[in-house]
A and B are shown apart, each in its own frame.
Chain A
Amino acid sequence: MAKHRGRGVASVNYPIGMNLGGDPSQALVHATPTGKFVVTLSSIDLGQGMKSVTRQLAAETLGVPIEDVHVDTGDSDTGPHCMGSFASRGTHRAGNAVVAAAREAKEVLLEVAAEELEVDPRDLELDGRGNVRVKGAPARALSVRDVAQAAHFKRGKSISGRGMFLVPPSDVDPDTGAMRPVTTYAHACMIVDVEVDDETGEVRVLSIKAAYEIGRALNIGLVEQQLVGGAWMGISHALFETVEPYYPDRAHGPTDFNGYLMPGPGDMCPVEIEIIERPALDGPYGAKGIGEMCATPPIPAIANAIEDAIGVRITEMPFTPEKILRALDAKRAGR
């Protein structure tokens, strides 16, 4: 009886957005009279950071400080349509809509500023600190607040923009399956080290090392949270979780977290990840989406590492101690 170490790999890609497209998202951006901006959406923040990412995209596109942008979402009376937060689509679809809306609002902002400064709007830029200035002549500038005041109370102009993003729906050829599932894919490769106890059948994940290609990391902190959280979920899927432990038999279905097992903090391993950015041609600043793919590669990588460790391949998820011991028994029996 011994503990055996093994190493396994998996490399995957992930389609961004709903399969076959046809899943629109909209955004509205407007300035308040004091030059603050509100992004209005109906996209859902599940904890993944939808509000934060769209806020950054709006601030970047408008050229204003991030503190001057607020994202308001989740009210069907005010928020324009968004298909929803799923299919790794939020950043890509809603993000594009926000960028488009912010661009349109920025155009109005610059038009009003140009009238106030009596220059051509094409000669203007935002300094990222809340001012509109003439390119090459930074002394000739107006604060965004002053521009918004002028727009509201002097010129009667709405500094606002509408954005919509839609990947046109694709047909499917029923015979060949010819279709355009999505427009861009994210990528990953993961290497996992495990230790398998051949007496108890328990698997411990010792380390995860991975590379993720995600187009553009819009917020590196959120990226890290998703990828590490996803690694945890992948370990959980691989080794612990199911609501039907003897599928397809329906017996022994858990109804609470005493029966439905998931890894605790002590089961989590160090995760080391490096990011690659190959921008999506149609992504907001090249961004793709990482919401879903990060939970996937640990599963096959752990299966492969188990085989490397003890010479048996487990082909049914989750890889419970029971399955591992039975597989070892079968191997010893020469089956």
Chain B
Amino acid sequence: MRIRKELFADERDDDLAIVGKPVRRQDIEGHVTGRTTFFDDRLVPGLLHIRCVRSTHDHARIRAIDTREAERVPGVRRILRWADLPKKAHNILTIFNFGIDDEPALADGKVRYRGEPIVAIVAESLRAADEAVAKVRVDYDPLPAVFDVEEALKPDAPLVNEYIGRNWFRYWGDYDCQQIRFGDVEAAFRQADVIVEGRYQMSPIEHAPLETQGCIVVPGEDGRFTVYTCTQGLHFSLDNTAAQLRLDTNRLHFIGGTVGGGFGGKVDTVVEPLAVLAAMLTGRPVRYVFTRAEEMQVSSPRGAERVYITDGVTRDGRILARKIVHYHDAGAYSRLSTYGTIKSAAHHPGPYWIPNVWVDSFCVFTNRTPSSAMRGFGVTGGDFALESQMDAVARAIGMDPLELRIKNAYRDGDMKAHRKLTEGAALIECIQVAAELARWPLSEEARSASSRIGGGGDRGRVPPTPPARTRLSDRGEGERGRETSRIDAAERPSARATTPPPSWLRSEARAVEARAVEDGARRAAEGGEGRRREEQEPPEPPRPASGHGALRFSSVFGSRRR
């Protein structure tokens, strides 16, 4: 691999002794000889194992859980239930005062995705744990489920997550999405020669680390718990585990740092809290490691994203306006999707200077495995859409795709859509070098372009921007009220069953998060009031302003001249 030292040489000192050299890794010998110690290499006597009973439904109320037979399996030491949880619902960002505690570590009387843990078996062996799992009887009352992000935003969609209270996350108090407003896209579409529309969709992707996620917890004599873990954020997971268990943080000692593949899949802190809880309740060391099947279908994947892009372009290849509606499929719980949604909005419209930009980025809840971070979080899905769209634009106007990119590339001094000036741009140079490597012919103009020249000036100013707030409908408190009010004392599990009451009836999370739910229930009980709703439609795919003669290219509706 070659470094092109001649580029940006004046911005760099190349007098370093060790930095830049292909120094051998400190840990390479352990890795290549198989001697590196990972969390699961600890030999701990008296280890107990956890396996979870998982939901076989996408969305269901739990009428009863019968664990009597499971308890009689030899070697079963404890069965953890929602009632055992010190904190009834949690989200890993609320330790930073962002987001909503919206996820119970074990089902709270309802399951919201297939694979959701309902009870955790703690046993002397994996075999005993598996046997007990098979003997737990769960009586479900299936509920309608929603899987499509746009379906989920419709007023009559089933409510996925009562802690959130609606099927989308509200930002900054009461904004239905993270929006970017820069210039006037509708006016610019009217100036454009060509309108190009695209719809891009990705599906959930697994991190597929060699080492599935897990941990081993060892209770110490001093009241502390040592947690051998593969987390990607040592203190992050420690603090989140402590918060979930309502433990002082200094009672936890996390040891990790060497991980068998992460790719963003080992941030959620899903295994540690249950394992520490099991160790607390049994006084024994506990191991909780996902099987490959759990890793693939139960642990958070890279979330699916759906992106609609509308571009207004001139015939000579200048993108005048770009409008993006971006849906993030969070699955049933927030995890980190609330964060990724903002990041995706900040990333648009890609590494280009486009004078008019509109972005609506939605975090949407559906009845699937909660998604979370993965390598390129908030960027990969967007870049698939943006860079596919760039080629669609190039085709629509008959322009070379690299020339189009250089022409629109951001340069030093350009104002970005999120209103920060571009510094240190180098997209143009990357295109030039890649073109050279592939012997892709570029025009003289493209070859002589520079990230350091031609930006700024008018391109460095924030254009006049008409205020525009995207609001989804309030979507009928009544329906939400009905939904909630049915889950009521009368339908609570019988005394014989061990199912805890639904969290929103008796949860500490109630103070803030469940308020909307309770309001809905109250109003429904009072009759009628809750049915009042603002008649607003969920967002539609972006559409350019009508009444102009732009040629329209669309992967959504096919090409047509308007």
| B4 x A276 contact (CB < 8 A) | yes
* Chain B proximity of A274: nearest CB distance (Å): 5
Q: Tell me which residues across on chain A come within 8 A of B202, comparing CB atoms.
A: 316-317
Which chain B residues in 432-451 approach chain A with CB under 8 Å? 432-435, 437-438, 440, 451
Is residue B471 contacting chain A, with contact meaning CB distance below 8 A?
A: no
Contact status A12-B387, CB under 8 Å: yes
Is the beta-carbon distance between B201 and A315 smaller than 8 angstroms? Answer: yes
| Interface-facing stretch out of A110-118, A142-150, A172-180 | A172-180
Docked complex: A211-261 residues within 8 A CB-CB of B: 211-213, 216-224, 227, 233, 237, 241-245, 247-250, 253-257, 260
- Chain B 1-38, CB within 8 Å of chain A: the 1/0 string? 11111011001100011111111111100010000000
In the complex, chain A residues whose CB is within 8 Å of the CB of B425:
185, 187
- Is residue A160 contacting chain B, with contact meaning CB distance below 8 A? no
Chain B residues whose C-beta falls within 8 Å of the C-beta of A233 in the assembled complex: 375
At the interface, yes or no: A209 with Cβ under 8 Å from chain B? Answer: yes
User: What's the tally of chain A residues with a CB closer than 8 Å to chain B?
Assistant: 124
Residues from chain A with Cβ under 8 Å of B27 in the complex: 45, 51-52
Q: Are A177 and B26 in contact (CB under 8 A)?
A: no
For chain A, residues 187 to 226, give those with C-beta under 8 angstroms from any C-beta of chain B.
Answer: 187-191, 209-213, 216-224
Given A174-B171, A243-B296, A276-B429, answer yes or no on A224-B19 (Cβ-Cβ < 8 Å).
Answer: no
- Whether a CB of chain B sits under 8 angstroms from the CB of A275 is yes
Q: Give Cα distance in the complex from A280 to B440, angstroms.
A: 29
Neighbouring A residues of B375 by C-beta, 8 Å: 233, 291-292, 295
In the complex, A44 has a CB within 8 A of chain B: yes
> CB distance B26 to A81 under 8 Å?
no
Q: With A and B bound together, what is the CA distance between A19 and B350 in angstroms?
A: 15
Q: Is A107 an interface residue (CB 8 A)?
A: no
Question: Whole-angstrom distance between the alpha carbons of A272 and B426 in the complex?
Answer: 19
- A330 to B388 Cα, complex, angstroms: 20
**A56 with B292, Cβ < 8 A, contacts A184-B424, A296-B380 known:** no
Assess the A274–B433 pair: CB atoms within 8 A.
Answer: yes
Other-chain contact of B430, A15, A188, A227, A335 (Cβ < 8 Å)? A188
- A128–B345 Cα distance when bound, in Å, is 46
Residues of A with C-beta under 8 A to B74? none
Is A136 an interface residue, CB under 8 A from the partner? no
Contacts of B419 in A (CB 8 A): 173, 176-179
- On chain B, the residues within 8 Å of A212 by CB distance are 430
Is B515 interfacial (CB 8 A cutoff)? no
- Inter-subunit contact A274/B180 (CB<8 Å): no
Question: Do A189 and B296 touch (CB < 8 A)?
Answer: no
* Cα-based distance from A262 to B2 in the complex (angstroms): 29
* Bitwise interface map of A from 268 to 305 toward B, beta carbon under 8 Å scored 1, else 0: 00001111111111000110000111011101110110
Contact A56 B18 (CB under 8 A): yes
Residue of B1, B301, B329, B386 near A243 (CB, 8 A) is B301
A82 at the interface (CB under 8 A from B): yes
With A44-B233, A46-B259, A188-B430 in contact, is A293–B304 under 8 Å at CB?
A: no
Q: Which residues of A contact B387 (CB under 8 A)?
A: 9-12, 297, 299-301, 303-304
Are B293 and A87 in touch, CB under 8 angstroms? no
Bound-state CA distance A15–B179 (Å) is: 18
Tell me whether B297 is interfacial, beta carbon within 8 Å: yes
**A44 B23 Cβ-Cβ under 8 A:** no
Query: Nearest chain-A residue to B26 (Cβ)?
Result: A51
Set of chain B residues within 8 Å of A164, measured between Cβ atoms? none
Interface contact B261-A46, CB-CB below 8 Å = yes
Q: Is B323 an interface residue (CB 8 A)?
A: no
**B12 A84 Cβ-Cβ under 8 A:** no
Instruction: Given contact pairs A86-B262, A222-B25, enumerate 14 new A-B contacts (beta carbons under 8 Å).
Output: A11-B409, A15-B346, A45-B258, A46-B261, A82-B234, A177-B178, A220-B21, A241-B205, A248-B329, A276-B433, A278-B11, A292-B375, A300-B386, A313-B388
